């Protein structure tokens, strides 16, 4: 149980800081139906847990070993993140009751995949937190610990989606537009930082 609780607390610490995944879930909860926002949260959870597994079992070490792979992930990831931010700035927000904003399941899955797996910072942070913690654990505890991390991810994103969806009636189209603009700027700045890191690594 001790290893499970360690995984649970580590998972919350891994997911709680505001990042692209949280912004993605919040935006879906504000602009999509409750059913669709919950589906979005579940998709994010799937990719988040698979990335946590990969970080725990050594994807960070692979990136450090092959610098060209790190360069590719940084470049592609930064450009895609910037593109997502620009699209958010350009999007027209209708009333919440309208279904015109509904994302297709394919777009939701592909966007969630990009948000999680093409986010170099998430890979690096996850590798540092989970990968480094792995060396302190006995081998037999790995499944228990990583189960705690996975459950923490599920609880966090489902709760986040539910809370935002519950109170989204307090937001009108104008407020949602402002939120989209704020999120869009944050995401573009985040992508710009990743692009800067790419050139810094390439020229360094």
* Tens digits of residue pLDDT in 100-143: 456 788 889 998 998 888 877 777 777 777 776 776 788 888 89
Tell me: pLDDT of 49 over 80: yes
pLDDT band (50, 70, 90) for residue 42: very high
Q: What pLDDT is attached to residue 109? A: 93
Q: What pLDDT is attached to residue 99? A: 43
Q: What pLDDT is attached to residue 98? A: 44
Q: Are 80 and 117 in contact (CB under 8 A)?
A: no
* pTM recorded for the entire structure: 0.75
């Amino acid at each position: 149980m001790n290893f499970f609780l360690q995984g649970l607390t580590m998972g919350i610490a891994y997911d709680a800081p505001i990042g692209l995944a949280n912004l993605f879930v919040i935006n879906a909860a504000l602009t999509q139906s409750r059913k669709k926002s919950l589906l979005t949260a579940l998709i994010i959870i799937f990719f988040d847990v698979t990335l946590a597994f990969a970080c725990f079992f050594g994807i960070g070490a692979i990136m450090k070993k092959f610098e060209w792979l790190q360069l590719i992930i940084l470049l592609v990831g930064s450009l895609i993140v910037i593109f997502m931010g620009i699209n958010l700035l350009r999007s027209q927000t209708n009333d919440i009751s309208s279904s015109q904003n509904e994302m297709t399941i394919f777009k939701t899955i592909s966007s969630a995949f990009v948000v999680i797996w093409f986010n170099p910072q998430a890979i690096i942070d996850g590798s540092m937190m989970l990968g480094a913690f792995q060396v302190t654990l006995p081998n037999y505890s790995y499944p228990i610990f990583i189960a705690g991390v996975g459950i923490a991810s599920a609880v966090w994103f489902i709760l986040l989606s539910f809370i935002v969806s519950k109170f989204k009636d307090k937001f009108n189209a104008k407020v949602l537009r402002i939120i989209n603009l704020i999120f869009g700027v944050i995401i573009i700045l985040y992508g710009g930082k990743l692009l800067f890191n790419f050139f810094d690594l390439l020229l360094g």
